[in-house]
Chain A
Amino acid sequence: MKLTRTAPAPVAGILLSTALFFQAGSLNEIAQPGQLGPGFWPRLALIGLALACVAKLIVDVRFAYGERDVCPALPPPVSRARLVAGIAFIGLYVLLAPFIGFVLATVGFIAAFMWLSGARSVPMIAGNVAVGTVLLLYVFIKFVYLPLPKGDGLFESFTLALYRALYLF
């Protein structure tokens, strides 16, 4: 494996841990003389992290210029489009939940993610959306008393109406 592919991660690790190490120094201002202070433990962890990154860099350099035969293989290829779409759907789910409410966000997410995962039967998707969402609401609102996001404005009214219709209140 080329050094240009493997080196950036440990180098970034060294730079990040160095920056955080200096930031942690300011934490110790509160400590009395003779005390280790609140910055001691994070600094210890950051020193460990930086040293481990240096060791990884050395190993990578050795692989790049020496023992090429035992160099680890590249990870198998994956569908990048599905990965990006999957992360985007999950992100949108969390992003929209406070605005449109948990119910509508979950309905949209289940339908979209099932489709992305390969489900193509509309009745199956619809059935899972309906039964799954209602069951989740019963378990987590009626029994666990979880105050799930209801949404804003109109969406909140919709959520409350649905809760009343399902006898959740």
Chain B
Amino acid sequence: MDIFANLVIGFANAVQPMNFLMISLGLLIGIIAGALPGITMINSIVLVLPFTYLMGIVPALLLMIGVYCGGVFGGSITGILFNIPGDPMNVPTTWEGYRLNRQGKTQYALGLAIMSSAFGGLVSALCLAFFAPPFAKFALGFSTVEFFSVVVFGLASVSVLGSSSMTTALISLFAGMFLGTIGTEAQYGVERFTFGLPFLSSGVDFVAVLIGLFAIGEVLEQLVGAAPESVPETSVRKAMPRLPLLDLWPLRWPLVRGTAVGVVVGGLAGAGATVSSFVSYGLERQVSKTPELFGKGHAGGLVASESSVNGSTGGAMVHLLCLGIPGSAATAVMMGAFLLHGIQPGPLLFTKQPVEVFTIIAGMILANIIMIFMGYVAAFSFATLMKVPAAILNTFIVVFCFLGGYALRNDLADVWMTMLFGVLGYVMRRYDLPIAPLVMGLILGPMAEQYFLTSMLANQNDLSVFVTRPVSAIILGIGVLLVLWAIMKAVKGRRSALEELVMQGQMTRVEEG
């Protein structure tokens, strides 16, 4: 009952003009910054931090929450429209959304992204309000062993399964994992595979790789006329998103699964939106009745990943508000805002300052409702670009890739990296090598390494720890079962395809005879 009463007070505070303005402004900044390649959601939260010095703690945090919620969604707009994911967490959305766009279903894809993102965010904010303290307690029991299992689950489920060729997917995955090891190693401080090049000492920036592989690769493919499917003429009206409430109904299970994964994985300190989006996408691919359509414009894949991205926001806030431990980089910056205003987040926050806490939670709920309209306006604005001729659009995409790469560290070496990976992206598309596993290996590989080595260090190199700890064993067990099931399905499908070929051959011979 207390929670309801506090939430009502929180809402009354959140709709105060100043607070409401901060949420809206934050959303606007977040969506635009998230959509621009190279300017990540974290960058935009950091950029607004100095402006919060003169504000009270509530408007300051509402501004940052607006940026947070808008930022995690913004990257999906350019991902769907131009194949440029604004952030690594938007990569699975891009895989499916861009293909839907190329099939002429732009408004459907954008609408699904807006609605599923808002749904995920709303549910996670409600979970934050009602289940934050017990969930925080549960999540505290997670160690690097469990994190490693979650990351391996994400790696295995997305990378290997559903690709047309498992061997090429594995090559791509391990190449990505290797690329992820380049740079200074965190535990020993040793430079690995830098070959004396100073810019490599900080590693291969995955944002530069993403921009190159997806955007430049696509531009080159269109330039030489080898795009996999013909691009339908998309008018602005067609590209304008619609809010597909009815379209969401058949996708209710991917939506629920994606949101659940987002809330749970987002609630594990250190995991965050990127891991949750890949895990939910992989899970969806495993349970889908049409896994062969993944990567070709699968609405369920888009909905699952997008809902989990925003679903992770509430989970990440659990740690900050209940334990005073930032669960992600974004919440770490928010913790800075708390401390700047002399408030120590932690277990006592809910009892000592319930009004502030519930205003923030109500602000998150409001932010996700406003985001439906803001996202619609932003998507419409970006969608008008779809009418621009390909010659202009592709040229400016390359310029934006230059700027996106350069903005990472103000270093032209990153731009070179972007362009080199662009050419690699083209080659991979041309020879039907899957790009997704490479990206997965690059993003999740370093996480897996860090969790694995820390687990080994803490457990005297005892590998059995991954199966003796119950949560880790369950996650790995589910992963193994799903992988085996998918392999069996693939083998069965291959066998029936071969039988069909043999039958066709026999029929032809009979007809010829």
Contacts and interface: CB of A to CB of B under 8 A. Distances in A.
Contact of A86 (B170, B224, B461, B498): B224
Contacts of A140: 403, 407
A69 B392 contact: no
A76 B177 contact: no
Interface SS of chain B: helix
Contacts of A78: 224-226, 430
B391 A118 contact: yes
Given A75-B431, A76-B226, A146-B407, A113 B412 contact: no
A123 interface: no
Contacts of B216: 90
Contacts of A76: 226
Contact of B423 (A87, A124, A146): A87
B453 A34 contact: no
A27 B392 contact: no
Contacts of A106: 399, 402
Nearest to B171: A52
A117 B390 contact: yes
Interface string A73-90: 001101110110011001
Contact of B432 (A20, A23, A72): A72
Given A97-B412, A147-B410, A90 B398 contact: yes
Interface stretch (B89-97, B99-107, B184-192): B184-192
B220 A83 contact: yes
A117 B177 contact: no
Interface size class of B (residues with CB under 8 A): 35 or more
Most buried by B among A53, A59, A83, A109: A83
Contacts, number: 157
Given A114-B395, A117-B390, A117-B395, A144 B193 contact: no
Interface in B149-171: 165, 167-168, 170-171
Interface string A84-128: 001100110110011000000010011001101111000010001
B110 to A, nearest CB: 23
Contacts of A35: 457
B402 A38 contact: no
Interface string B346-380: 00000000000000000000000000000000000
Interface stretch (A40-48, A150-158, A160-168): A40-48
B10 interface: no
Interface string B432-457: 10000000010001000100110011
Nearest to A77: B226
B481 interface: no
A106 B39 CA distance: 20
B188 A91 contact: no
B87 to A, nearest CB: 16
A45 B167 contact: no
B202 to A, nearest CB: 16
Contacts of B178: 17, 20, 42, 45-46, 49
Interface of B: 39, 165, 167-168, 170-171, 173-175, 177-178, 180-181, 185, 187-188, 190, 192-193, 216, 219-220, 223-226, 389-392, 394-396, 398-399, 402-403, 406-407, 410, 412, 415-416, 419, 422-423, 426, 430-432, 441, 445, 449, 452-453, 456-457, 460-461, 498, 501
Interface of A: 10, 13, 17, 20, 23-24, 27, 30-31, 34-42, 45-46, 48-49, 51-53, 55-56, 59, 69-70, 72, 75-76, 78-80, 82-83, 86-87, 90-91, 93-94, 97-98, 106, 109-110, 113-114, 116-119, 124, 128, 132, 136, 140, 144, 146-149
- Kindly list the 9 A-B residue pairs having the minimum CB-CB distance in the complex, ordered from nearest: A117-B391, A52-B170, A49-B174, A48-B174, A45-B177, A78-B224, A119-B391, A42-B181, A38-B185
